[in-house]
Amino acid sequence: MPLVAPFRTSFGTETARDVLLVKVVTPDAEGWAECVAMSEPLYSSEYVDGAAEVIRRFLLPALPKNLDVHDVGRALEPIKGHRMAKAALETAILDAQLRAAGESFARFLGAARSRVPCGVSVGIMDSIPQLLDAVAGYLDEGYVRIKLKIEPGWDVEPVRAVRERFGDDVLLQVDANAAYTLVDAPRLAKLDAFDLLLIEQPLANDDLVQHAKLAQLLKTPICLDESIESAEHAAAAIALGSCSIVNIKPGRIGGYLEARRIHDLCRANGIAVWCGGMLETGLGRAANVALAALPGFTLPGDTSASRRYYATDITEPFELADGHLDVPARPGIGVEPLPDVLDEVTTATEWISL
């Protein structure tokens, strides 16, 4: 799936996505899900070909005979890691189960809204004028929050330029994707001057202790992304004071049931949450929008419209209206792939009977 424009972060540049879809067929219904693993293990240790292999060799054989989504997590627990693969399998099973029951994803999860406010993630650019043009375009489209990707050498100056050009009323945050160390605290503290909503994952994904130290040195709230892979990780981060905001990405944490657990934990502890994105197609976006409608999601997420990433989505496109996306109300995730589009972009198919 080619992207409409290159998307550059501190760990690399993406120009297309190699998308793994999982389709579950039961006697009662069919369910779909999208695995968010990248082509290469740059965001995390998972990658798309590895996810397909672990589903094939280990996850599918571990499933119970009578599929019920509440049994999936326990059945797969002995297999270490591979949360993106597990999330795709569990979500497809959940989608089929909800379609059979006539219940929407949003209702099942406990959504409190019928539409959600949308932010947009803006990658690292070649120049500040290019960045300002991109941000202006997204604000013209109606996005209610801007997130800037940063890295050493591309941080204070682009943030200052955006704040000066568009003013203090624009909701603005930054995402480092673990590009800094605690030694960089004085540099990161310079971002305090720009009244940011948050700085996302400034330090290494496995270092909750140093994030807690950094939080004491900055006025800008710290949000954790890559560090949170489970409700247990979220509980540890809260106890240590490593963050005051959590970005919940269902693929990163093993699925939407675990996402709801983290939402409930954070809400009970006064920790704000928002829904992150992994350049999903309409299949993954539909489920994310439903999750983002839960009451604890108090900050706009990266649930952008389809056209932000794809000229042609594999589902009916999600379109921004007044800075919001509608939450799908049909059974399951509420969308399906368009057969002709899916056929055009499919490079391989494998069916496995249980």
Give the catalytic positions in this structure: 149, 249
Residue count of the chain, please give it. Answer: 354
CB 301 within 8 A of CB 276: yes
- In sequence order, what are the beta bridge partners of 32? 23
H/E segment holding residue 3:
strand 2-9
- Which SS3 state, helix, strand or coil, does residue 84 take? helix
* Alpha-carbon gap, residue 156 to 159, rounded angstroms: 5
* Alpha-carbon gap, residue 334 to 319, rounded angstroms: 15
* Alpha-carbon gap, residue 32 to 336, rounded angstroms: 7
* Alpha-carbon gap, residue 335 to 60, rounded angstroms: 24
Q: Which residue shows structure tokens 């627990």? A: 77
* Alpha-carbon gap, residue 328 to 314, rounded angstroms: 16
- Which SS3 state, helix, strand or coil, does residue 244 take? coil
* Alpha-carbon gap, residue 116 to 304, rounded angstroms: 10
How far, in Å, are 56, 122, 153 from residue 132 at the CA level?
A: 45, 10, 17
CB 21 within 8 A of CB 34: yes
- In sequence order, what are the beta bridge partners of 33? 22
Q: How many CB atoms lie within 10 A of CB 216?
A: 8
| 324-326/115-117 β-pairing | antiparallel
